[in-house]
Amino acid sequence: MSHATRRASELALDGTTVTALRTALKTTADEVVQAIIDEVPPYANALSGRMGATIRRRARSLSSDIRDTEDYLPELVLSADVDAFADLRARALAPLQTLPAATARRLEETLRAWLLHQGRRDEVAAALFVHPQTVRYRMSQLRELFPDLASPQRALELTLAVGLRIS
């Protein structure tokens, strides 16, 4: 005797009632699945199965916690072509390669925060858990390394280069 049959007999349910309940549960499950499908963004519906599988695989490689890829679109876009992203990072961040590794990491972290917080020193300092004077000092170092830091094209390139945290 199956668990479901045993449980049905404990509840004094007849076979017809159990069948009706199973049908109702299946219908409800199908409705839930359809509701989920209806919520998929239109661009995702246009993706081929291979592209969808690639996105899901890439999302899992970014983090096993990713459940909704729409929440991670910037990360997915930046990591779509790993080689191109590595080339962009190498070219954009080349001036940092002349520094000791620890200094380069610290300045890259500061650059990332500065770009993402649009140069607001107090916000950058809070994000990095440092004093605003430290941000000012590090930014003066970065401006020496990247004299064209204020250029929109350079800011875009650097934002893309530091936008995805590399483990």
Model confidence at 148: pLDDT above 80: yes
Three state DSSP letters for the chain: CCHHHHHHHHCCCCHHHHHHHHHHHHHHHHHHHHHHHHCCCHHHHCCCHHHHHHHHHHHHHHCCCCCCHHHHHHHHHHCCCHHHHHHHHHHHCHHHHHCCHHHHHHHHHHHHHHHHCCCCHHHHHHHHCCCHHHHHHHHHHHHHHCCCCCCHHHHHHHHHHHHCCCC
Residues 58-114 pLDDT 10s:
555 555 565 555 666 677 777 777 788 888 899 999 999 999 999 999 999 999 999
- What pLDDT was estimated at residue 75? 72
Distances (CA, A) of 61 to 72, 80, 136: 12, 11, 36
Model confidence at 48: pLDDT above 50: no
Between CA 38 and CA 33 the distance in angstroms is 9
Residue type, 43: Y
- What pLDDT was estimated at residue 154? 93
Give the chain's mean pLDDT: 77
Q: Count Cβ neighbours within 10 Å for each residue of 110-122 and write b for 16 or more, e otherwise.
A: bbbbbbebeeeee
- What pLDDT was estimated at residue 6? 56
Q: Which residues fall within 8 angstroms of residue 157, CB to CB, at 6 or more apart?
A: 88, 91, 92
Fold of 82-163: Arc Repressor Mutant, subunit A (1.10.10)
pLDDT class of 135 with cuts at 50, 70, 90: very high
Positive or negative CA dihedral for 130, 71, 75, 150? negative
Share above pLDDT 70 across residues of the chain, in percent, rounded to a whole number = 56
Q: Identify the weakest region by mean pLDDT among 14-23, 67-76, 145-154.
A: 67-76
Residues 50-65 pLDDT 10s:
555 555 555 555 555 6
pTM higher than the cut 0.95: no
More confident residue, 17 or 49: 17
Taking the domains of the chain in order of start, what are their residue ranges?
1-39, 43-80, 82-163
- What pLDDT was estimated at residue 74? 74
